[in-house]
């Protein structure tokens, strides 16, 4: 119940943040069904026993266009936002079952000029409910997903082909990922890649008068900024094991290339009860907390949509007494930047393709002149 409540809180906060960024002024609404046919990407050999066929994704998307009355909308070429309701059939009903997803998304045109070859990128992240997770008694072979409630991430690249004023086709390719961030073992995750097509219907087809008023309250106050963030999460090192605390302190410099792009470098310090447990199991003697943490530098990038930011980070541990997860770590997630400096974060840390933990963070940023 705690995980479900946190996902619902994230979902509500995301839509509240989008609403504050001005998506409700346009009276037009779109609806688009979508079908995708793909493959399960086997990033671990053990997943081969679970692949029985080709997964299929069925979606209903409720879409809202933006007007361009806010700076973030103009900077992102007037994107569409919406809610994705979908079902994934993994072609293995006994062991993998189905995934049911409800998640917000944004669809950004990747070039400013409107033309037939205009490519769009969808960013989608929300909760997913799996019908056949691992179970010691009834489903021991599912080494991919260990919980009913999981996180869902989707990237989609597509084109729009107009049929008439109210209908257009949208062929493209899609990547999706489902996992619980190791909150409950096992958790190798399920990755799918495939091709599909949507039919986009404009339900209202109303003409909107252009606006000359531009709200620029999300404009960055300076090119350079520093922030500090503290985040907390839990992971599960073994099946039916005790949840282990994970805490992270991150200090980061960011350069605002544009309002839509941040580049940066940072330093991350992690204290993890699972790592301390691994040290004990290996018989490694430690001299206090300095030997029980892992830390290192990281390279950072964020794509920004108004006050909402989608960070991607890659780092390396410069010191760890044992190597249970390798030397490289990665982060992805979503952040909300307040008007003054306060920020909130939901993210996932992984070691290459294997999720390590979800975390929930709070931080503050300072603008440098």
How does pLDDT run across 235-260, given as a tens digit for each residue?
Answer: 887 777 788 999 999 999 999 988 89
Looking at residues 94-106, what average pLDDT do you find?
96
For the segment 196-218, the average pLDDT, to the nearest whole number, is: 75
The SS3 assignment for 49 reads helix
The DSSP code for 168 is E
Among residues 138, 212, 147, the alpha carbon closest in space to that of 182 is found at 147
Q: Is 352 left (phi over 0), alpha (psi -120 to 50) or beta?
A: left
Domains and CATH numbers, the chain: 2-202 (2.40.160.20), 224-368 (2.40.160.20)
Q: Residue 81 has what pLDDT?
A: 94
pLDDT at position 353 is 74
**In the predicted model, is pLDDT for residue 16 greater than 50?**
no
pLDDT at position 21, please?
47
User: Which range among 171-180, 204-213, 229-238 shows the weakest confidence by mean pLDDT?
Assistant: 204-213
| Residue entry with tokens 């009913």 | 148
Q: What percent of the chain shows pLDDT beyond 70?
A: 90
Q: How far apart are CA 215 and CA 193, in angstroms?
A: 38
Cis peptide before 358 (omega within 30 of 0): no
- CB-count burial class (<10 Å; 0-12, 13-18, 19+) for 260: middle
Can you give the length of the chain in residues?
369
Name the DSSP class of 327.
S
Helix (H) or strand (E) holding 203: none
Q: Read off the tokens for 103.
A: 């998640």
State the CB neighbour count (10 A cutoff) for residue 126: 19
Distance between CA atoms of residues 158 and 35, nearest Å: 13
Q: Per the confidence metrics, is the pTM higher than 0.95?
A: no
Instruction: Give the DSSP H/E element, type plus range, for residue 16.
Output: helix 2-20
- Computed over every residue of the chain, the mean pLDDT equals 88
């Amino acid at each position: 119940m705690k995980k479900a409540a946190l996902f619902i809180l994230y979902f509500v906060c995301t839509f509240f943040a989008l609403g504050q960024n001005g998506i409700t002024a346009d009276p037009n609404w779109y609806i688009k069904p979508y079908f995708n046919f793909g493959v399960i990407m086997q990033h671990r050999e053990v997943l081969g026993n679970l692949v029985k066929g080709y997964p299929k994704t069925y979606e209903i998307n409720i879409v809202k266009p933006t007007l361009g009355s806010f700076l973030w909308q103009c900077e992102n070429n007037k994107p569409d936002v919406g809610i994705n309701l979908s079902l994934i059939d993994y072609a293995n009903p006994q062991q993998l079952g189905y995934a049911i997803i409800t998640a917000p998304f944004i669809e950004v045109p990747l070039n400013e000029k409107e033309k037939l070859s205009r490519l769009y990128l969808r960013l989608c992240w929300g909760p997913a409910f799996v019908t056949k997770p691992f179970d010691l008694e009834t489903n021991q072979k599912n080494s991919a997903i260990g919980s009913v409630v999981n996180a869902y991430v989707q990237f989609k690249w597509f084109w729009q082909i107009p049929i008439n004023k109210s209908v257009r086709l949208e062929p493209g390719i899609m990547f999706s990922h489902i996992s619980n961030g190791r909150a409950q073992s096992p958790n190798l995750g399920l990755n799918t890649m495939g091709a599909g097509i949507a039919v986009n219907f404009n339900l209202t087809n109303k003409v909107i008068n252009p606006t000359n008023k531009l709200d620029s309250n999300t404009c960055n106050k300076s090119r350079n900024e520093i922030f500090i963030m503290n985040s907390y999460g839990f992971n599960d090192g073994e099946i039916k094991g005790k949840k282990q605390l994970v805490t992270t302190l991150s200090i980061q410099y960011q350069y605002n290339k544009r309002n839509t792009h941040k580049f940066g470098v940072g330093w991350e310090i992690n204290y993890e009860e699972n790592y301390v447990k691994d040290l004990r199991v290996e018989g490694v003697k430690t001299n206090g907390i300095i030997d029980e943490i892992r830390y290192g530098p990281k390279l950072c990038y964020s794509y920004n949509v108004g006050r909402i930011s989608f960070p991607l980070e890659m780092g390396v541990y410069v010191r760890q007494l044992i190597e249970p997860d390798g030397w490289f770590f990665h982060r992805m997630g979503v952040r909300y930047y307040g008007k003054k400096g306060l920020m909130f974060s939901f993210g996932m840390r992984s070691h290459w393709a294997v999720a390590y933990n979800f975390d929930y963070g709070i931080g503050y940023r300072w603008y440098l002149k």
